[in-house]
Amino acid sequence: MYKKSQMFKVKCQMCSKRSFSLIELLIVIAIIAIMTAVLFAGNQNENKIQNEVDAATRQLAVDLRSIQNDALNGKQDIISGNIACQANLVLVNGNPNYKINYTPISGATCTGTPFGERTVNLQNAKISSPNGEVSFSAPSGTVNGANKITVKSTIDGTTDTICVNSSGNITEMPKGFSGNCP
């Protein structure tokens, strides 16, 4: 038979063979930490790109609403005193910028030389629209031109859509929208 001390040694040797050493545990924890860091870094880059497209879309929608408001209120040029009869947002397909200007009343028609032109540049995004221009006429704010404007990321192709219907309603569409505007 075994003595008590011999039995204890046998049991302890069996126990130590079943467990992990501290170094093995630290290596596993380090590998898990590295994999988690890589996963989060990749996810943050995707979120950054989507946030840039969202910001560009919101900026474009704000400018559309602003020029619509200017048309409804009859924006006036401070220098010349001309009153706008039409507010315009001019898009060039595939470019990262658009222009805003106002057409003044010339006599009884809306044909004067545009004033108040400014260019807006979007970061990491391109704009596309079938018509290339959205105009709001004073005093009713009726819409002429584009009804679907797409903002597309220059990095990964992520897109957002803005719809402008004939009654002047400006809507930022949900992610993944690919149909026709209402």
Q: Which of 53-62, 131-140, 144-153 has the highest mean pLDDT?
A: 53-62
Between residues 30 and 18, the one the model is more confident about: 30
Instruction: For 101-131, write each residue's pLDDT tens digit.
Output: 888 876 667 777 788 888 888 888 888 887 7
Cα separation, 10 vs 98, whole angstroms:
81
In a domain, 133, yes or no: yes
Cα separation, 76 vs 157, whole angstroms:
39
Number of separate domains in the chain? 1
In a domain, 144, yes or no: yes
In a domain, 8, yes or no: no
75-79: average pLDDT: 77
88 DSSP β-pair partners = 101, 135
Cα separation, 44 vs 35, whole angstroms:
14
Of 59, 32, 47, 38, whose CA–CA distance to 123 is shortest? Answer: 59
Looking up residue 150, the CATH number of its domain turns out to be 3.55.40.10
In a domain, 63, yes or no: yes
- Residue 34: which pLDDT band, with cuts at 50, 70 and 90? very high
Provide the token pair at 76: 């006036």
In a domain, 129, yes or no: yes
Mean pLDDT of the chain: 80
- Lowest pLDDT segment from 4-13, 53-62, 76-85, 93-102: 4-13
Give the residue carrying structure tokens 């204890």: 8
Q: What contacts 85, CB < 8 A, 6 or more positions away?
A: 103, 104, 105, 110, 137, 138
Q: What contacts 144, CB < 8 A, 6 or more positions away?
A: 133, 134, 135, 136, 137
In a domain, 105, yes or no: yes
- Residue 6: which pLDDT band, with cuts at 50, 70 and 90? low
Tell me which residue range forms the domain holding 37. Answer: 20-172
Q: What contacts 90, CB < 8 A, 6 or more positions away?
A: 98, 99, 100, 101, 132, 133
In a domain, 9, yes or no: no
In a domain, 156, yes or no: yes
93-108: average pLDDT: 81
